[in-house]
Structure 1
């Protein structure tokens, strides 16, 4: 029996790296494992939660890597290839920069693995591995999607959360986001019957946490297709799930969907507010967001007992140094259950990357710094160090004990979920900012 080793490298400088308080499972590798023929012995190593032995035995190694982890991914690939082991790489970064990736691996999978991976392993067995595998026309069907085997993650140090995908793609093509370019400009839906069967076979994690059967629907917008969303939510009600997901601000306009979210066990939704500036929203192409309505959107979800994880990006071209105080004031006033902040980052394949490259504004080409908590470009209305300092201040002040209690008090949402989440983020933020300061001081002392 051939041995397949699947690896998710650590993004060493990432806010969501090995020190992140909430270690979440890697769904992508479970998908690849599910697509692998049964005559393979599969093991998965996620460096976020375990150590990779570069000397371990394998016939074939598959590595997935997003941009901040790709440098480590290349190191792993080089090490296994030096031992004569074939290496295949995939993921968003590799798909956008195939020539770069092929300097470190034998073959790459461009785009989605469905309807490609079986060809890869078959060609490998016949000794005819190609350099590039990609779809000739469009995107693969999501019908007859094989269910992941969560048993491969037993006893790994993950939070007790199952990831489930019900849709792919997005028509909005925001300038900083790579989803549309990677997964297509329209929403593709999985059959609800197949999603329900996947839910039926989930087994609760053995965990010290009170919530042991949490599901995170990883779709970029769980309500992308209202008919599909309604059917899905109605079908999962009997399973008494506790679930979270992602949605657009448009969900606040649909009371029927909100009621179904609540009835089916929705604890909270991540919503990409992105910015408080209408000018920024116009430039990025997200004009269905209207900042003057954000407070109403949040209150509407709270009225249904649904928490809101508000996501914001700092450093857009219309952001000056006043953006930090305005953002801190807003998240507390809005009583956001959780707030998630990132620094604008130009990932390969996005319109933002193309624009900043043309303008000569990219100042850092080390992929490990493309992790949304470093400044890798020249902002328009402030210096890079001001953006970084302001980002740190927003994090610290939004997750102070005082701010956490002000945000959560009286929301009527799931406190057993959101209080631990906030305190976990607070712990990670303290470590991240302390590391950054120590690094900066260390650099200064050597200059």
Structure 2
């Protein structure tokens, strides 16, 4: 057996079954840089981001490693089946295979759960050589080494991803990662991250921290911001965070000095009962003041919202749009509730017989809309029908897509940031126009042909 492994980050198919390909992406997963850096020196390795380049199905690698964050699991399964038919050993990793090991196991020789570090990768590869590969490996998260950024072409990535750690201190019911980490998080040693930032500073000025929550550990964040400022990095960057950072003026000031210009914050709902239901430990009544403090610190807010939660009604679209427009949310990022397999919400909907499919494997295999489910209602809401949720979602986008609102949300003290915000808001408007057109086409097809006895009326 040749000691060579081929890592693949699959693309995914859109709702029409077309495999998405392109030359540039907003951001990519850090799975391949992490895995590549963990491979022992006596093994050869290749990496492929399928969005940019075709998978080499004629590779001489004996082992194929496929990583799937979510949607890509379907395309990953296609790729895995092809390689297994060629006699290759296929291992499947990433968040979605860990959440859905039954589905992944049908298409691979082993499912890797967790974030394997150098020791775990060595153990897995040694087991392959010995013919003793286990069907599943449960790995403790380990990213305490420098990642291999040579596998990412900075010319193809708008924001280069970096990470301080994995996991989250919160345990939100809708979040698939909460079911994995259960309120725990694992931080990297700052020396590794700072060395990576030194490397990247010579190649790009735009980065994004892809942590689930960069505010997991306040002491760590403050220390990191001070060190980034001392090293005089010229990065403009953003990060995911929780709204409680709005109560921390020192952290906000240090974030701004270190180059942070956008925080991606999961507000999720403007209805307190919704937030209580999913164990999100925040207060809607504090949102306006927290948002103001973040904006006053010179940091823009990109806010995530979920539409169609159990306490939402046909009035929620108007209420949510009013909140976003009133309180200076620079970039609203909204989707219909996605009952991701493995999440608490998914299990709750299953137990109440409110999910469109009761079997997790059937849900993943047959429900092709899971590939693009941000605008599709896959469950039975309490106060609306699935159709009312989908119609309300389109109405919500309509209320936020006027060009005047786009320009207002995109204003900043940085030309680059203004252009970024306008572009992202424009994509938001484009999604609305696509959905509106698709809905009109569906309505026409459902209405049927015009009867001859009324055609002339």
Question: TM-score under structure 2 normalisation?
Answer: 0.86
Local SS of the residue matching 2:54 = coil
In structure 2, the residue matched to 1:208 is: none
Where does 1:316-355 land on structure 2 (aligned, <5 Å)?
Answer: 316-355=309-348
Greater Rg by CA = 2
Q: Secondary structure at the match of 2:71?
A: helix
Deviation at 1:256, TM superposition (A): 0.7
Give distance in 2, aligned partners of 1:393 and 1:195. 43
Alpha-carbon offset, residue 204 of structure 1: 4.7
Change (3 A) 1:311 1:258: same
Instruction: Report the alpha carbon displacement of residue 280 of structure 1 after superposing the two structures with TM.
Output: 0.5
| Structure 2 unmatched runs, 5+ | 358-362, 450-457
Range 36-45 or range 101-110, more displaced: 36-45
Report Cα offsets for 1:195-218 as digits up to 9, x if no partner.
21221121554xxxxxx4211111
Give every structure 1 segment of 4 or more consecutive aligned residues whose post-TM-superposition deviation is greater than 6 Å: 410-413, 439-446
After TM superposition, give the deviation of residue 86 of structure 1 in Å: 1.2
Corresponding residue for residue 188 of structure 1: 186
Contact 1:14/1:68, CA 8 A, preserved across alignment: no
> Cα 1:80–1:113, aligned 2, differ >3 Å: closer, same or farther?
same
Partner of 2:285: 292
RMSD of aligned residue pairs (Cα, Å)? 2.8
Equivalent residue, structure 2, for 1:218: 210
Match of 2:369 in 1: 369
| Cα distance in structure 1, aligned partners of 2:41 and 2:448 | 56
CA distance in structure 1 between the aligned counterparts of 2:142 and 2:292, rounded to whole angstroms: 38
Task: Report the more deviating stretch, 53-62 or 344-353.
Answer: 53-62
1:236 aligns with 2:228: yes
Between 1:290-299 and 1:300-309, the stretch displaced more is: 290-299
- What corresponds to 2:62 in structure 1? 59
- Partner in structure 2 of residue 283 of structure 1: 277
1:313: which partner in 2? 306
Matched, 1:421 2:415: no
2:96 matched residue in structure 1: 93
Contact in 1 for aligned 2:9/2:68 (Cα 8 Å): yes
**1:379 shift after superposition:** 1.2
Please say if residues 69 and 368 of structure 1, whose CA atoms lie closer than 8 Å, have aligned partners that are also in contact.
Answer: no
For these two proteins, the number of residue pairs brought into alignment is 432
What's the offset of the Cα at 1:341? 0.4
Within a 5 Å distance, the mapping from 1:14-413 to structure 2 comes to: 18=20, 22-114=25-117, 115-135=119-139, 139-142=140-143, 145-154=144-153, 157-159=156-158, 161-205=159-203, 212-237=204-229, 238-287=232-281, 289-364=282-357, 365=363, 366=366, 368-370=368-370, 371-409=373-411
Q: CA deviation at 1:62?
A: 0.9
Q: Give the conservation status (yes or no) of the 8 Å contact 1:172–1:185.
A: yes
- Render the CA deviation track for 1:209-263: whole Å, top value 9, x for unaligned: xxx4211111222122111111000000121221100111111111111110111
Pick closer, same or farther for the CA change 1:390–1:91 going to 2, 3 Å: same
Task: Return the structure number with greater relative CO, CA threshold 8 A, min gap 6.
Answer: 1
In 2, distance between residues paired with 1:71 and 1:317? 29
Q: 1:79 to 1:412 in 2, by over 3 A?
A: closer
CA distance in 2, matches of 1:343, 1:270: 18
Paired residues of 2:10 and 2:49 also in contact (CA < 8 A):
yes
TM-score by length of structure 1 reads 0.88
- Contact 2:201-2:233 within 8 A present in 1 as well: no
